[in-house]
């Protein structure tokens, strides 16, 4: 006899181009798919999300933003609320404002890892269109616990970064075009029903900690909290995590450092421009009082600060031109094949 919570779990993750991809997949699932469907889309942490309405109108499954602890039921779609991670516990949903991962909350990896820990071989993980590499580590966790991994064909994705990373590093069992994913999920759901008898879930209410092959302090600080980052190699994946739990791939850490650098440079620009303004104001006051020598010194300081501000401003603008190019930094080239 199959227990009430021994139904398959389908977890889907998407980022850029994800609304179209999720609408296509979820909207094509039958109303009796027999699985609980959980969705993470990288979205802004502020404002309302209408993704449940979009998915419900597109198909035949009810879709909601769940509350923390809500019962998990088949034939329903649970969508991560803005600024909250969506997690899976045995028989229920978790909603958490835990530390960001890959600069995102909600992030895909926490959902995938928690689903793998709670449901093991009953889980189907799906990585859809998006940039960078969120979902890759979580898909590996699903594989390790006996679940099924599915990736949208990168050549079929509007934004191929996330699918390409998952294909390269997660060794997915299925790489398929978007139009073929719903039928695949429907078939897998039928195959996986009742597999909970083969698996003992982790009972902790906290998403499982990663099992890293290597774990060492790095010389880098966390862009979010300034704590020391620990450096981990999970096979050929390089990852970083601080004591708080902020987690980064090498790619997302580079972007976070870039954001931090840009903020610092703009702060320097403001400070220099304000110094130039103050010196100009002091120069005028000195001239009004007949102190020409002092006024000239302030003029020189104002000119110097303005010139330095322009240099820094130009650096920031040039930085913006170079940051848009994503480089795969999963593992250094010289270590490949080692």
Give per-residue pLDDT as tens, 259-269: 899 999 999 99
DSSP state of 255: H
Strands (E), the chain: 9-14, 36-41, 63-64, 77-79, 85-89, 92-96, 123-127, 148-152, 174-176, 214-221, 228-234, 237-242, 247-249
Mean pLDDT of the chain: 89
Mean per-residue pLDDT, 183-194: 92
Higher pLDDT, 231 or 185: 185
Percent share of the chain, pLDDT over 90: 75
Higher pLDDT, 3 or 66: 66
List active site positions: 15, 42, 134
Determine the pLDDT at residue 210: 54
Where residue 309 falls among pLDDT bands split at 50, 70, 90? very high
Give me the torsion for CA of 26, 27, 33, 39, rounded to 10°: 20
Lowest mean pLDDT among 35-39, 228-232, 268-272, 334-338: 334-338
Determine the pLDDT at residue 1: 37
Instruction: Give the Å distances, CA to CA, from 250 to 16, 117, 254, 295, 327.
Output: 19, 25, 6, 51, 10
Where residue 135 falls among pLDDT bands split at 50, 70, 90? very high
Mean per-residue pLDDT, 106-118: 97
Determine the pLDDT at residue 198: 66
pTM (2 decimals)?
0.83
Determine the pLDDT at residue 211: 52
Q: How far apart are CA 244 and CA 221, in angstroms?
A: 12
Where residue 15 falls among pLDDT bands split at 50, 70, 90? very high
Q: How far apart are CA 170 and CA 173, in angstroms?
A: 9
Where residue 48 falls among pLDDT bands split at 50, 70, 90? confident
Determine the pLDDT at residue 323: 58
């Amino acid at each position: 006899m199959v227990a009430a919570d021994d139904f398959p779990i389908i977890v889907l993750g998407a980022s850029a181009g994800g609304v179209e991809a999720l609408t296509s997949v979820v909207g094509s699932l039958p109303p009796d798919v027999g699985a609980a469907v959980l969705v993470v889309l990288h979205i802004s942490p502020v404002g309302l999300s209408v993704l449940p309405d979009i998915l419900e109108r597109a198909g035949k499954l009810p879709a909601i933003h769940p509350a923390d602890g809500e019962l998990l039921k088949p034939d329903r779609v649970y969508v991560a609320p803005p600024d909250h991670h969506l997690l899976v516990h045995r028989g229920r949903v978790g909603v958490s404002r835990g530390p960001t991962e890959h600069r995102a909350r909600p992030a895909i990896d926490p959902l995938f890892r928690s689903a793998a820990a709670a449901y093991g071989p009953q889980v189907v993980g799906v990585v859809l269109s998006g940039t960078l590499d969120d979902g890759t580590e979580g898909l590996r966790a699903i594989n390790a616990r006996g679940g099924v991994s599915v990736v949208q064909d990168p050549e079929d994705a509007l934004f191929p970064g996330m699918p390409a990373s998952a294909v390269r590093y997660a060794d997915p069992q299925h790489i398929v075009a978007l139009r073929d994913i719903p039928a695949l999920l429907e078939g897998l759901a039928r195959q996986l029903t009742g597999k909970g008898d083969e698996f003992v879930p982790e009972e902790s209410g906290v998403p499982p900690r990663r099992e890293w092959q290597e774990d060492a302090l790095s010389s880098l600080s966390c862009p979010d909290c300034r704590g020391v980052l620990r450096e981990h190699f999970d096979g050929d994946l390089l990852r970083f995590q601080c004591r708080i739990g902020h987690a980064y791939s090498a790619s997302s850490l580079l972007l976070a450092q870039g954001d931090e650098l840009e903020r610092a440079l703009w702060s320097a620009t403001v400070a220099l421009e304000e110094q130039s303004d103050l010196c100009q104001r002091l120069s005028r006051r000195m001239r009004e009082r007949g102190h020409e020598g002092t006024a000239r010194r302030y003029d020189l300081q104002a000119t110097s600060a303005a010139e330095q501000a322009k240099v820094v401003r130009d650096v920031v603008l040039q930085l913006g031109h170079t940051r848009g190019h994503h480089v795969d930094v999963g593992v250094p080239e010289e270590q490949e094949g080692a």
